Amino acid sequence: MTGVVELSEAELDELRSAVRAFLEAKSPEDAVRKAMEGDPRYDPQVWAQMADQLRLPGLAIPEEYGGDGFGQVALGAVLEEMGRALLCSPFFATVVLAAQALLASGDRDACARHLPGIAAGTTTAALAVAERTGAWDPVQITARAVRRTGDAAGWELTGTKSFVIDGTSADLLLVVARTKAGPSLFTVDRRAADHVAPGLTSEPMETLDATRTMARVRLESTPATLVGTDGAGGRLMARILDLAAVGLAAEQAGGAARCLESSTAYAGTRVQFGRLIGSFQAVKHKCADMLVQVELARASAREAARLADIGDEGFAVASAAAHVCCSRAYLFAATENIQVHGGIGFTWEHPAHLYFRRAKSSQLMLGGPSAYHERLLERLGI
């Protein structure tokens, strides 16, 4: 075991029920649409309640840094519910990406400095890796880091990062930039930007999915602090990518399950030609195929999370497989959900298209299908 606090199946079910009840109250469709048009694109009060009432930001952070010490299995249960509710919040960027990056770095000083605030919900964070192409390939990192003149411990970053989730609102930025030793991880504190981090600007990017904001971040001789070992960013990125893929897979599985629920509910109430459409063979087949995809997605995401928690050497393969499986399942379920609903499913007023947009954007995240298929082959040693 890896020191992760385990939860029984009954406890996981209780966690799912508590999170679902909270999100049904705080993230209904009208709240999601309101957040999509807001600035920031989430409700700070709901974020504070998630931290104060449910302690969700600190769920997978070790107790020594102010968290509860649970692992990827518990985190996955929460992400499934968040994906089901299309929650607009900085949770994925802060907890799944940034916090896990800090932990993976092994830098205890950096963890002690930043993780308690993340666990308490008082600090939001973002991870800036991809650049113009959206790839997470260390070879394609062009942002540069150089030591500050007269400051042996300080660094300056110059470059542009794209597709940074919650990059316009995060208090803390974790940036992968290239030094003479290779790709490395750095922190930039935006809350002190007026005094400590000149040259830092960010702008929202227009993307398909308005429920998950992304930003283009520009750095021009921006002061930063090295996290972990200089030049260790390539190996660190591989670990972060595996953990991010597992978290994303859980979220995708939750979204796919919600599409199935919506389709079956509609098929059980919509009448055409004097019959419920759920009695039509074509609709039955669609719902049955969706169920198969949803169950495969859940199984692959949960197994990958389990292997992460026990430190199994097969985790990297399971993570890549879950990413492939859940990306396919979510997009399939979201597409079929629109088809089952017919004309109303194509309209802006219906939530079906919101799930389709999230499904497609999630498929393209972390490099897209070509990248995650290649990653699976690489993890398999092929």
Sequential DSSP letters for 218-279: EEEEEEEEEESSTT-HHHHHHHHHHHHHHHHHHHHHHHHHHHHHHHHHHHTT-EETTEEGGG
**Segments of the chain scoring below 70 in pLDDT:** 1-2, 150-153, 192-197
Query: Which of 204, 228, 229 lies closest to 218, judged by CA?
Result: 204
Quote the CA–CA distance of 313 and 308 in Å, as a whole number: 9
- Check residue 196 and give its pLDDT: 47
The two tokens of residue 11 are 């406890």
Quote the CA–CA distance of 285 and 13 in Å, as a whole number: 29
- Check residue 170 and give its pLDDT: 94
Q: What is the pLDDT of residues 66-108, one digit of tens each?
A: 999 999 999 999 999 999 999 999 999 999 999 999 999 999 9
Strand, helix or coil for residue 171: coil
| Residue pair 356/297 in contact by the 8 Å Cβ criterion | no
CA dihedral 182, 97, 94, 217 (to 10 degrees): 50
**CB neighbour list of residue 161: distance below 8 Å, 6 or more residues apart:** 128, 129, 130, 131, 143, 167, 175, 216, 217, 218, 219
CB atoms within 10 A of CB 14: 13
- Check residue 51 and give its pLDDT: 95
| Residue pair 31/95 in contact by the 8 Å Cβ criterion | no
Quote the CA–CA distance of 96 and 124 in Å, as a whole number: 11
- Check residue 39 and give its pLDDT: 85
Report the relative pairing of strands 214-227 and 200-204 from DSSP bridges. antiparallel
Instruction: Tally the C-alpha atoms within 13 A of residue 233's C-alpha that lie toward its C-beta.
Output: 31
**Domains observed in the chain:** 9-123 (1.10.540.10), 126-231 (2.40.110.10), 234-379 (1.20.140.10)
Query: Which of 226, 225, 153 lies closest to 196, judged by CA?
Result: 225
Phi and psi angles of residue 188, each rounded to the nearest 5 degrees, phi first: -130, 125
**CB neighbour list of residue 305: distance below 8 Å, 6 or more residues apart:** 71, 72, 73, 75, 76, 246, 250
Quote the CA–CA distance of 130 and 32 in Å, as a whole number: 27
Residue 152 CA, distance from chain mean position: 35
- Check residue 152 and give its pLDDT: 61
